[in-house]
Each structure stands twice: as structure tokens, then as C-alpha cells.
Structure 1
Amino acid sequence: MSLQDELTAAQRCLDELVRTVARLERDVGGGLEIRRVRSDADHLRESLSLLRASVPRQPAEPPPGEVVIVPDTPYDRALWADAEEEGLGAPRDRPARDR
């Protein structure tokens, strides 16, 4: 998992924590303890936001290299006159009918 994925997962978990704390605050009331938990969750949210801003974004894929245009015209067979074909051996090693 990439760093950006980890940060996104942490953000989702933190968002769920904030929603849960809000539900607890409704159910329990606004006492000192729940206010501290809400404040801590808010601080965590701010800290994670600062962390995300400080981490450089990684490109989804590496930057493209030099573009090479491959022509549609057939290649000159002389380029591979002595080359071996995978699994078939060199042309000089094959019977004449296979050339």
C-alpha cells in the first residue's frame, strides 16, 4: 500500500471517529470528558491534515520517457539475417523449407 493510500485510510478512520464522538456527545451529553475526546479528535484531524500537506504527492505512474514512433511499414528482413528466432534456432540451422 502506498503512502498516499495509508494517509487516505487514516483519514477515513479519523472521519469515522469524529462521527462516533458526535453520536456519543448527543447520547451522553456535553460533559467535560466528552468535550476532551472531541477536542482530541479535532486535534488529530488537524495533525493529519498537516501531515498530508507536508508529504509530497507521488505520481501515479512514472513520467513518460522519450516517445519512439514505430513505423507501420515492414522491416527490412536483412536486419535479422543471422538472428536466431526464439525456439527455432538460427535460420542457417533450419531446413530450407522453413526459411
Structure 2
Amino acid sequence: MSVQDDLTAVERSLDALVQAVGKLQARIGGGLDVRRVRSDTDHLRESLALLKEGLAGAPPGRPAAADDEMVPIPDTPYNSALWTDAEDEGLGAKDRHAP
């Protein structure tokens, strides 16, 4: 079974779940619990759509990877003058005592 077949099967199952929740809502009313389940099914639909979008751009057999950019780190010496007037995080200024 291919990934596309699996996604189609999940989509069909989700459609059946949405129909069942609709029938249940018609029988017992739209209380808080039923609305929560309906909201969960809507979130599942959105998540499945995002999954399908992510897999559409991925090469076959490999999951989609985030495009991480390389951040160059220069070999030049660190310029400590940039931080001379900054306070140490959580400790305060140099001339004051920590709590």
C-alpha cells in the first residue's frame, strides 16, 4: 500500500467519523462534549490537509525536511566592546550584588 493509498484511507475514515459525529449530535443534542468532539474532528481534517501538503513536495520515500539554512560563524576575534554596558542576565550589573 502506498502512502497516497494510506492517506486516502485515513481521509475516508475521517469522513465516516464526521458523519457519525453529526448523527450523534442530532440524537443527543449539541452539548459541550459533542461540540468538543466536533471541534476535534475539524482539527483532524486540518492536520491531515497539512500532512498531505507537506508530503506533496517531498521526494518519494523520504519525509519532507525543513529547509535549514547554514549560518556562517566568522573566525574573527569576538568584540567584547559590544557588551561592555550590558547587564548579566539574571545577575544585574557588575557593581551590584546578585539577590
**TM-score with structure 1 length normalisation?**
0.56
Q: Deviations over 1:13-63 (max 9, x none)?
A: 00000010000000000100000000000000110011011112778xxxx
Query: Looking at CA atoms only, which structure, 1 or 2, has the larger radius of gyration?
Result: 1
Structure 2 gap segments, 5+ residues each: 61-99
1:4 aligns with 2:4: yes
**TM-score with structure 2 length normalisation?**
0.56
Q: Which has the higher contact order (CA 8 A, sep 6+)?
A: 1
Alignment-derived partner of residue 47 in structure 1: 47
Q: Which segments of structure 1 move beyond 4 Å, counting only runs of 4 or more?
A: none
> What is the alpha-carbon distance in structure 1 between the residues aligned to residue 14 and residue 40 of structure 2?
11
- Amino acid across the alignment from 1:28: I
Alignment-derived partner of residue 63 in structure 1: none
1:29 aligns with 2:52: no
Q: What's the secondary structure of 2:56's corresponding residue?
A: coil
> What is the alpha-carbon distance in structure 2 between the residues aligned to residue 49 and residue 15 of structure 1?
13
Give, in angstroms, the shift of residue 11 of structure 1: 0.3
Percent identity of equivalent pairs: 58
- Amino acid across the alignment from 1:55: L
Higher helix fraction (1 or 2): 1
> What is the alpha-carbon distance in structure 1 between the residues aligned to residue 47 and residue 32 of structure 2?
22
Number of aligned residues: 59
- Amino acid across the alignment from 2:40: D
Structure 1 gap segments, 5+ residues each: 60-99
